[in-house]
């Protein structure tokens, strides 16, 4: 079982990283093969908005964001973690979302995910919703969503108080993957979004979106 953990915080020893490393430990103890990526340590430019990926199937910028997108495609499970910045995900996480070929290309089709947002006062529900929608709209399955509220930099409280939340959410992810669990409400939501929204939009674009159609074909969708 391959799990990819993506840390959207610029701080590699902050609260977000601490929670994600606790999830990593829990996963390793359950026999998972885990890869941990700090977005702050990879080479990732902003999306240029040229839309050429929809035609060619790859980004015109050849950097680590492309490598990360392929790693996501090769994983069974993905954990997205971000601090809350102004009631949103971090800029790093937003770049990852924009560059990652997620929604239109259905990158998370068949993948099980955990979303996790940290914050110290108000708005981490909003950043979590952004990650949840990313998973749902991209065809992924949301096994658990985790909201952590602690004072800025208080990794001690996190280590003491979140063990059980982390154990339970990781257990849900592992069981989801092992049992190929279907989440009926998510399934219906995605069915509507994909068939009434994404699919007609892409089909209307025709050859300009041939890269997308090729990716759907390789996943057996569309
Ligand atoms: C620029 C910036 C904006 C922030 N905005 C919010 C916010 O809107 N809501 C909130 O609850 N916390 C906010 N915070 C606090 C962080 O989300 C919180 O402390 C988080 O756990 C930090 O994660 P890290 O230790 O992994 O960097 C903000 C922090 C920064 C640096």
107-146: pLDDT as tens digits: 999 999 999 999 999 999 999 999 999 999 999 999 999 9
Ligand 1 pocket: which of 17, 94, 120 to mutate (most atoms <8 Å of CB)?
120
119: which strand partners? Answer: 149
Residue 42's pLDDT band, with cuts at 50, 70 and 90, is very high
For the segment 179-205, the average pLDDT, to the nearest whole number, is: 97
Mean pLDDT of all residues in 42-53: 97
- 122 to 9, 68, 126: CA distances (angstroms): 17, 30, 9
Other beta carbons within 10 Å of 25:
13
What domains are defined for the chain? 2-219 (3.40.50.360)
Who contacts 156 (Cβ-Cβ below 8 Å, separation ≥6)? none
**Angle at the Cα of 1 (from 219 to 92), degrees rounded to 5?**
75
* Residue 149: predicted pLDDT: 97
- pTM for this predicted structure: 0.98
Those residues with Cβ within 8 angstroms of residue 212's Cβ, 6 or more apart along the chain or in another chain: 54, 57, 104, 105, 202
Mean pLDDT over all residues of the chain? 97
Q: Find the 123 Cα to ligand 1 centroid distance in Å.
A: 9
Q: Answer whether 87's CB lies under 8 Å from 13's CB.
A: no
Q: Is 152 in the pocket of ligand 1 (CB under 6 A)?
A: yes
- Which atom of ligand 1 sits closest to the CA of residue 153? 25
Q: Ligand 1: which of 8, 14, 84, 131 to mutate, most ligand atoms within 8 Å of CB?
A: 84
Q: Which two tokens stand for residue 37?
A: 């990526």
Is the predicted pLDDT of residue 195 greater than 90, yes or no?
yes
The answer to whether the CB of 166 falls within 8 A of the CB of 26 is: yes
- Kindly report, residue by residue over 142-175, the tens digit of the pLDDT: 999 999 999 999 999 999 999 999 999 999 999 9
- With a 6 Å cutoff on the Cβ, whether 38 touches ligand 1 is no
**Using 50, 70 and 90 to split pLDDT, how confident is the model at 90?**
very high
Ligand 1 site, residue 84, Cβ cutoff 6 A: yes
What mean pLDDT is predicted for residues 79-94?
98
Pocket residue to mutate for ligand 1, from 9, 14, 83, 116, most atoms within 8 A of Cβ: 83
Q: What is the pLDDT of residue 43?
A: 98
pLDDT of 222 = 82
Relative to the CA of 121, which ligand 1 atom is closest?
A: 11
pLDDT of residue 64: 98
Judge if the beta carbon of residue 124 lies within 6 A of ligand 1: yes
**Alpha carbon of 84 to ligand 1 centroid (Å):** 5
Q: What proportion of the chain, given as a percentage, has pLDDT over 70? A: 100
Res 193: pLDDT: 97
């Amino acid at each position: 079982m391959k799990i990819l953990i993506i840390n959207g915080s610029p701080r590699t020893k902050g609260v977000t990283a601490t929670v994600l490393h606790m999830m990593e430990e829990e996963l390793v103890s359950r026999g998972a093969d885990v890869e941990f990526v700090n977005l702050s340590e990879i080479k990732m430019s902003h999306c240029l908005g040229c839309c050429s990926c929809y035609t060619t199937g790859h980004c015109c910028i050849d950097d680590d964001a492309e490598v990360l997108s392929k790693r996501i495609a090769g994983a069974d499970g993905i954990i997205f973690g971000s601090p809350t910045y102004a009631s949103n995900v971090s800029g790093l996480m937003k770049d990852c979302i924009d560059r990652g070929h997620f929604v239109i290309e259905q990158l998370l089709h068949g993948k099980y995910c955990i979303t996790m947002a940290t914050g110290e006062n108000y708005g981490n529900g909003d950043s979590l919703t952004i990650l949840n929608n990313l998973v749902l709209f991209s065809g992924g399955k949301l096994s658990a969503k985790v909201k952590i509220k602690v004072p800025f930099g208080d990794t001690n409280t996190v280590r003491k108080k979140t063990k059980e939340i982390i154990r339970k959410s990781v257990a849900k992810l592992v069981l989801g993957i092992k049992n190929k669990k279907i989440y009926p409400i998510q399934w219906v939501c995605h069915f509507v979004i994909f068939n009434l929204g994404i699919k007609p939009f892409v089909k209307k674009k025709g050859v300009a979106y041939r890269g997308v159609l090729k990716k759907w074909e390789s996943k057996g969708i569309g």
